[in-house]
Chain A
Amino acid sequence: MKRSLNEIEQTCRKAARGSGLPWGLADDTGRAVRWLHAFQLDGVSSLAALLERLDHQRPVDHAPESLDGVWQGPGNVLSPIMTGLALSDCLALIPERGIETRAIACPILVAGYVGQTILNREQSVTLGWLSIGLSIYPDRLAITGDEADLYAVRADRLTCEKALFDRDCSGGRYPKVGDTRVNAGAWEKLENRAWLTYVEATEASRLSGAGAGLSDND
């Protein structure tokens, strides 16, 4: 099925919030998945799977404990949400040797958080997991490796290194605005989670609603 990028952003934002994430993280999550779909990468399916796994768990329990050394969390697996956000917040601070993490869930999502930040900077990075090298440039991205690893549900490590970018070089994948295909099953799961952000109507809320009790037949 097809959805606009704005629908993808809004549904993912609400689904993240409906899964217990604070609003600020939900805002970034909507943008991150939108960014992935603009590059024809299926963020919707990965987010649906991840939210099922982390439903209503505290973000800090899956976040890097420190930004020094190899990043690892208190649990077994890092969340790509907290890791992706920490990476985008630190873009200006990436050391020469790069950043390395321990095991991480759905690493493709990390690219979404980092990507939507990179688009606004003269900076490029390469993310690596399993056989994948995903280089994000200010105007495009380039992917190497085995397609099957792109949507891995887990990778034992993820690396993030500064990349060199020549604006005049050819190749790579450019963003596209337009109808975007989403997986119908995953979309329904996200919509169900988004639904949890709505408040059920009561008699009192109906009475105090925006135009309640007023006739429109003027």
Chain B
Amino acid sequence: MARDNTVPLRDPDKVMRLDRMGCFHQTRLSFMRTLLRSIGGQRWRFRRACWDIDNNGVGTAVYQIEGPDRVYSLICYANDLPPEKRSDRVIATEWDATFTLFDGTPEPADIERLKAAVPKQEAGHCSQTELVLARANRSVRLFEHVVDSLSQGRQPDREVIDKVGYLMRTTAVYGNGKFGISDRERISDRPEFSSAFHTELLAVWLIRGFTVDIAEHLARARGGGRAVAMHPGLRRRLGVGNSTGLGMAPFLVLHPALIHRWMFARESALARVRSLPDSTPQTRKEFGQLITRMKSGLEDWVTGDLRQQNRIRALGKDLERLARYTESPGLSMPYPWNALVTWSEQALSLEGQELIVTLVIEPHGELVDDLGPTMSVDEARYFPVDGSQTVAEAIDVIERKYGWALAVDYSTKDQSARFWYYSEEKLEPRLGQRYTEPGAEKEHPLAYGRDVRALYEDLKRLSGQDQGGEKLAGFLLSHPQHRHSVRRIQIADRLDYAEIRDNLISADLTPIDLLRCKLSFFGANKFDPKSDRWIRINMYQHAPFPDELGEYEGEGWIYPPLPDR
């Protein structure tokens, strides 16, 4: 499609800020959406190949999904976990269920071999035929309600379902070579896994099917002939929960080239829509329906977190303002989507502004869906340092791209209050208080603002001594401590959205902003912060189930259905 990109992409200085990134919502380019669009469009076939689970819910199940070229199998090991052992934290050693996504069709010997490794998770060791390793725990309040209702021949209560939104929560989903499973590059040339995290999200989608099957199974075990299956409409309201802590936070910092691709695709989609000279009756109608569906989604967005409660309340008011806007001035003026976005920047909260990004992109699949496959990258291309760059050129890059970092005084306690480290107990990233807790000498390189500023000061000193022409290859021989910063500035120079433009060690950092941003790209919903460093989410709520792929209705599944449907 010929495109008139009259409206430029939003400035990275505006977008790459944590307060805004912490307000991102899923879009049609999010990875759960692109995955289901791709396998639904190709009519992948699904079957439950094995169900060997006893009346206590202990045993093995295998789900298979077959695309044009390959078969993948989710092997599930179900457990009867005593409540006192149920913990979502990474320190847990037993779970209600553990899973692996197997490359191909497992032989009975594979299932036996993996029975010794998968239930142990980090403590086991898998092999290259396993693509994902995951586990999940039941939501006690909802799981029991659903099993109990179904066993007595009743459908569970919709309000109780909506309050929680999932039967089980995954507490870790590992991919890419972790604990011996397949390295990503072994499978990255397969079209179905061309986008980031499609492998992990395929596993989660299949796990969602298991969570309902195991509940129905236990209901039958309890109620016998009285028991009923879940109504399909009600079943759709169940996603998979997930708890995410700081483990995920450093990812956005350690993969600058990839983050650029994600952001660039999202911002490009927005710019394309804003550049449309007019709207069509069809997109106006769809947009109006989206507002209604979002309103209903807000009602089910439950959180105990005060900050998020206030934001949801503000978002509700934003949606009312938006509904009024669509009546007057409306969307019939020239460049209507651009006018709407411009208006939102003055009229709405940050949550509201970023929701507008999601909503205006949504009805424009034909215009933006080609951006989905651009959201991965061969990071190795950006990794090497260009030693032929001169000191003067590096100074220029920093002054152009890191104004935000040079403006911070890292010698003050507030601006250097935290340090990122990996804990010996959990082997997971943590955030410490630099001036009161031990361990700052083992800090991980997430304080890139401070480090780039230190690099800048050394470069300026050299340039002041008339050595601005020196090559960085020579500079790094005598200043090896700056190597990681040199790599970052060279990547940031090539890729506008590579760097979050905020100080990640300041006292007022809210770490969950990092998590929310990443999870929105996954396609997560119902963000429910449990503290400033831990968040619960819902994945695949309202999505078709694997056994519904044949009747896959395409787009927009992620928004709750219209009230009359």
Q: Mark A2-39, 1 if CB is under 8 A from B, else 0.
A: 11111100000000000001111101100100000000
Is residue A169 contacting chain B, with contact meaning CB distance below 8 A? Answer: no
Is the pair B430, A199 in contact by a Cβ cutoff of 8 Å? yes
Is residue B426 contacting chain A, with contact meaning CB distance below 8 A? Answer: yes
**Chain A 98-121 interface residues, beta-carbon cutoff 8 Å to B:** 116-117, 119-120
Q: Give the interface size bracket for B toward A.
A: 35 or more
Is the pair B477, A82 in contact by a Cβ cutoff of 8 Å? yes
Is residue B422 contacting chain A, with contact meaning CB distance below 8 A? Answer: yes
Report chain B residues within 8 Å CB of A21: 480
Is residue A164 contacting chain B, with contact meaning CB distance below 8 A? Answer: no
Report chain B residues within 8 Å CB of A196: 442
A88-B384, A93-B473 known; A198-B422 Cβ under 8 A = yes
Report chain B residues within 8 Å CB of A6: 176-178, 183-184
Is residue B164 contacting chain A, with contact meaning CB distance below 8 A? Answer: yes
Is the pair B442, A198 in contact by a Cβ cutoff of 8 Å? yes
Among the 9-residue stretches A49-57, A141-149, A152-160, A203-211, the one with 4 or more Cβ atoms under 8 Å from chain B is: A203-211
Is residue B279 contacting chain A, with contact meaning CB distance below 8 A? Answer: no
How far, in angstroms, from A205 to B245 measured CA to CA in the complex? 14
Report chain A residues within 8 Å CB of B88: 211, 216
Is the pair B487, A60 in contact by a Cβ cutoff of 8 Å? no
Is the pair A214, B534 in contact by a Cβ cutoff of 8 Å? yes
Q: Give the interface size bracket for A toward B.
A: 35 or more
**Chain B 420-465 interface residues, beta-carbon cutoff 8 Å to A:** 421-428, 430-433, 436-439, 442, 444-445
Report chain A residues within 8 Å CB of B184: 6
Q: Mark B229-259, 1 if CB is under 8 A from A, else 0.
A: 0000000000000010111000000000000
Is residue B504 contacting chain A, with contact meaning CB distance below 8 A? Answer: no
B488 (CB) vs chain A CBs: closest residue = A24
Is the pair B430, A205 in contact by a Cβ cutoff of 8 Å? yes
Report chain B residues within 8 Å CB of A86: 387, 473, 476-477
Chain B: minimal CB distance from A204 (Å): 6
Is the pair B533, A210 in contact by a Cβ cutoff of 8 Å? yes
Is the pair B128, A178 in contact by a Cβ cutoff of 8 Å? yes
Is the pair A117, B384 in contact by a Cβ cutoff of 8 Å? yes
Is residue B325 contacting chain A, with contact meaning CB distance below 8 A? Answer: no
Is the pair A204, B436 in contact by a Cβ cutoff of 8 Å? yes
Is residue A174 contacting chain B, with contact meaning CB distance below 8 A? Answer: no
B83, B186, B436: which has the most chain A beta carbons within 10 Å?
B186
Is the pair B534, A210 in contact by a Cβ cutoff of 8 Å? yes
Chain A: minimal CB distance from B388 (Å): 5
Report chain B residues within 8 Å CB of A120: 380-381, 383-384
A204 (CB) vs chain B CBs: closest residue = B437
How far, in angstroms, from A202 to B185 measured CA to CA in the complex? 38
Chain B: minimal CB distance from A160 (Å): 13
Is the pair B140, A211 in contact by a Cβ cutoff of 8 Å? no
Q: Mark B376-401, 1 if CB is under 8 A from A, else 0.
A: 00001101111110000000000000
Is residue A177 contacting chain B, with contact meaning CB distance below 8 A? Answer: yes
A64 (CB) vs chain B CBs: closest residue = B477
Is the pair B480, A4 in contact by a Cβ cutoff of 8 Å? no
Chain B residues with CB under 8 Å of chain A are: 83, 86-90, 127-128, 137, 139-141, 164, 169, 176-186, 243, 245-247, 380-381, 383-388, 421-428, 430-433, 436-439, 442, 444-445, 471-474, 476-478, 480-487, 530-531, 533-534
Q: A119-B380, A211-B89, A214-B534 are in contact. List 18 more A-B contacts (CB 8 A).
A: A4-B128, A4-B181, A6-B184, A24-B445, A24-B481, A86-B473, A89-B384, A198-B422, A199-B439, A202-B437, A204-B433, A204-B437, A205-B437, A205-B439, A208-B431, A210-B89, A216-B169, A218-B139
What are the 3 tightest A-B residue pairs by CB atom distance, in nearest-first order?
Answer: A24-B483, A6-B177, A89-B387
